[in-house]
Amino acid sequence: MVAARSNLEPITSTTLKRRNKALDVPLGLDRTIGNQSLQVHASLRGAILDGRLAAGLRLPSSRSLADQLSVRRNAIVGAYELLLSDGLVEARIGDGTYVASLLPTRANQNTPAPFVVPANPRGAFALGQTYSDPVVLRRLASATRRRIASATAAHLSYGDPRGGEELRRQIALYLAASRGIRCDASCILIVSGTQQAVRLCADALLRTGDRVWMEDPGYPATCKTLAAAGMRLVPVPVDASGIDVAAGRRLAPSAKAVYVTPSHQFPTGVTMKMERRVALLDWARVSRAWVLEDDYDSEFRYGGPPLTALAGIDGTDRVIYIGTFSKTLFAGLRLAYLVLPPAAVEQVVTARAAHDRFPPSLVEGAVADLMADGILAAHVRRMRTRYRIARDAMSSTLERAARGTLRLVVPTQGLHMLAYLPAGIAKDAAAKIRAMAQIESWLLSETRLAQSGPDGFVLGFAGHDITELTEAANRLGQAVRTYLGKSASRRISSES
């Protein structure tokens, strides 16, 4: 911030002496803006528009203001010229520069407080984190640099609405080898994340007001996306075998779609049993409903090979598979993909072209290079070990610290773990404990739609430092014991 002293009352005298007086309105220069002229212009413009520099006020000479703001005199001259072309100041020949006598209505009058965008949690146990491995970041940086350096006109112009063919081919190879999905690269669509994938399917294949089965508890981001697309969500309970297909049939037999996480249900961690998979595919075939399979974290399986995806056993062509690079690499990449049954390709690709035309091609090409060179597969192998170690350190510390007050479900897959509180405690207990423990996990209740049941914590363990994880696990165990101890004594005293 550069502060300038000043004079707020309009100047009526035309003497040079008065014109050279300093401004006392503090003017902050934002040094991140282009050059000094633009910085001074932005600052004066803001001060005029919000009324700090009144209409008709004479501005100091360029020399005097340059001294006050410690900038070059030319910068002031340039800024005054820009203000002149904005119509915010007037030049009076032989006299000086004045704030225009007619100004637009003050911008800040009656303007509502700006919308505060909620911050993304990154603290202890926050979900959505991955380890920023310098090895893979370096490889991604050099692949991106190479892609930019060798970009042809085709790369720099409008592209295929499905995304680049190289990445789609690499994904097809990966899915065949690792997920049991045989698909042609022509049926793959690169998108900016799972939510865009879900939105495109809703826009292309569903109609406003259609019913969609949603796992309960389930992934809140998908609920938001489907609701924003005008779908009517039908919460379908999840049990130890996965989504309860019979309950879904009872609740909304003619729903047009279902969203599921069969490999690793979010947040419970349940793997959908084969009889449920068959029942779901049967229902989808008969009702001509779409199955949106979100396979977000199957690369991180800690015992045995990953299970075949639902799309790999689908003989009905009703399953739309969604994969993401948010876990294998990082969420900031905004890179995910859809595998479409042939019957859905045209509609979804057309919706994509109408939405944002096609995905950015350069980073996408660099990720294709990492896949082709085996760098991504090696990274995933290293991360699997790293995240397993984090899971084990966190679960054993939490187990010890909670002394039986939490029921942990240590996952064999994925990057989060569930810790259940005992049933029957106060509704706000989990939120209070979370605040006491200073952790940033989700609560199980935050992922529920209609079902009730014991609350708990959805604890992310990837991308966090192990020492921080174990310290947070100790705080959480301690907070649960303190809370339960206090509420037990409160119960005893109110009963006596």
Q: Which is nearer to ligand PLP, 69 or 367 (CB)?
A: 367
Within residues 429-448, the interface with ligand PLP by CB under 6 A covers none
Q: Minimum CB separation from ligand PLP for residue 42, in Å? A: 35
Q: Lay out the site mask for ligand PLP across 106-125 (x = CB under 6 A, - = otherwise).
A: --------------------
Q: Are the C-beta atoms of 461 and 415 separated by less than 8 Å?
A: yes
Question: 3-state DSSP call for residue 203?
Answer: helix
Residue 194 is a binding residue for ligand PLP (CB under 6 A): yes
Binding test (CB under 6 A) with ligand PLP, winner from 219, 259, 358, 387 = 219
Question: 3-state DSSP call for residue 241?
Answer: coil
Q: Are the C-beta atoms of 469 and 461 separated by less than 8 Å?
A: yes
Q: Minimum CB separation from ligand PLP for residue 338, in Å? A: 11
Q: Minimum CB separation from ligand PLP for residue 361, in Å? A: 19
Q: Lay out the site mask for ligand PLP across 377-416 (x = CB under 6 A, - = otherwise).
A: ----------------------------------------
Binding test (CB under 6 A) with ligand PLP, winner from 223, 336, 344, 349 = 336
Q: Which residues pair with 459 in a beta bridge?
A: 417
**With the CA atoms of 183, 188, 194 and 196 taken in that order, what torsion angle do they form, in degrees rounded to the nearest 10?**
-150
Q: Which residue in the shown chain puts its C-beta closest to ligand PLP?
A: 193
Query: 70 to each of 39, 58, 75, 320, how far by Cα in Å?
Result: 12, 20, 10, 61
Q: Which of 420, 425, 401 is nearest to 410 (CA)?
A: 420
d(CA 492, CA 496): 6
Q: Minimum CB separation from ligand PLP for residue 460, in Å? A: 8
Could you say which DSSP state residue 436 is in? Answer: H
Amino acid, single-letter form, for residue 469: L
Residue 296 is a binding residue for ligand PLP (CB under 6 A): yes
Residue 483 is a binding residue for ligand PLP (CB under 6 A): no
Q: Which is nearer to ligand PLP, 294 or 455 (CB)?
A: 294
Residue 193 is a binding residue for ligand PLP (CB under 6 A): yes
- Strand locations in 217-262 (E): 232-239, 242-243, 257-260
d(CA 302, CA 384): 7
Q: Are the C-beta atoms of 249 and 284 separated by less than 8 Å?
A: no
Structure tokens at 157: 């112009």
> For the chain, how far is it from start to end, CA to CA, in angstroms?
63
Q: Tell me the site size for ligand PLP, rule CB under 6 A.
A: 14
Amino acid, single-letter form, for residue 328: T
Binding test (CB under 6 A) with ligand PLP, winner from 61, 268, 298, 326 = 326
Binding test (CB under 6 A) with ligand PLP, winner from 324, 361, 405, 470 = 324
Question: Looking at the chain, how many residues does it have?
Answer: 496
Within residues 256-275, the interface with ligand PLP by CB under 6 A covers 261, 266
Q: Minimum CB separation from ligand PLP for residue 231, in Å? A: 17
Which residues here bind ligand PLP, judged by CB under 6 A?
127-128, 193-195, 219, 261, 266, 294, 296, 324, 326, 331, 336
